[in-house]
Amino acid sequence: MKMSDFRLDGKVALVTGASYGIGFNIALGLHEAGATICFNDIKQELVDQGLKSYKEHGIDAHGYVCDVTNEDQVNELVAKIEAEVGVIDILVNNAGIIKRIPMIEMTAAQFRQVIDVDLNAPFIVAKAVIPSMIKKGHGKIINICSMMSELGRETVSAYAAAKGGLKMLTRNICSEYGEYNIQCNGIGPGYIATPQTAPLRERQADGSRHPFDSFIVAKTPAGRWLEPEELAAPAVFLASDASNAVNGHILYVDGGILAYIGKQPK
């Protein structure tokens, strides 16, 4: 093994929905390892926000407006990146949504929207980049899965269905295109300390933890929420030559939740 196997110098990475949050932090890690960063978002103001954030980190990222559920837009995006930056070596399918609605209250249209963004879009984007990966003789695809790829939970029927499907799409891309030196793996994040989850982690007026905070800490052997940057190194590994023999695998970066039945009540 050589430490250079973990380097991404000269590689072009597309991270979808990476203006902020988990995708942004993964992109920072890929850049630190040497990759050129391309990202998209659905609105120009989000792309502009992302470009500003990357610039603040000293990164000249390439930002594009694209709806990843629209196959024509995705094909145009990939062609534009290939023309302006280079063939995409690394794809991180990060863009996603969640709707927390009890199943019997969720409309079919709401269910379809989550499936469209969280499952159909990774299919569309992967389908767009694979032909050039085949021609180049290598490629890395990383799908951002979830613990809900393995577990169910109340109010997230569509999200769990989509992320379970994404796990199997990951394995099928491996099965179909592994012979072309394309590795497709997934990352399943645990509960991440982001601005969006901050209200769930604030201390209550009496100094106690928020009930959901207590629940997550009790269910996590690490005893804490994870930081967004903790997803970067696993992504770099799966994007690098160091993982060339790893294919069709879901790497759960969850602090041990999936291995743990939880604490016995006192």
Calpha distance 132→117 (Å, rounded): 23
User: b/e map of 88-107 (b: 16 or more CB within 10 Å)?
Assistant: bbbbbbbbbebeebeeeebe
* pLDDT values of the chain reduced to their tens digit, one per residue, 266 residues: 788 999 999 999 999 999 999 999 999 999 999 999 999 999 999 999 999 999 999 999 999 999 999 999 999 999 999 999 999 999 999 999 999 999 999 999 999 999 999 999 999 999 999 999 999 999 999 999 999 999 999 999 999 999 999 999 999 999 999 999 999 999 999 999 987 788 889 998 898 999 999 999 999 999 999 999 999 999 999 999 999 999 999 999 999 999 998 877 77
Residue from 217, 145, 223 nearest 188 by CA: 145
- Give tens-digit pLDDT for 145-177: 999 999 999 999 999 999 999 999 999 999 999
> Rg of the chain over CA atoms, in angstroms?
19
Residues 6+ positions from 234 with CB-CB distance below 8 Å = 187, 251, 253
pTM (2 decimals)? 0.96
Q: Which residues are catalytic?
A: 159
Predicted pLDDT at 2: 87
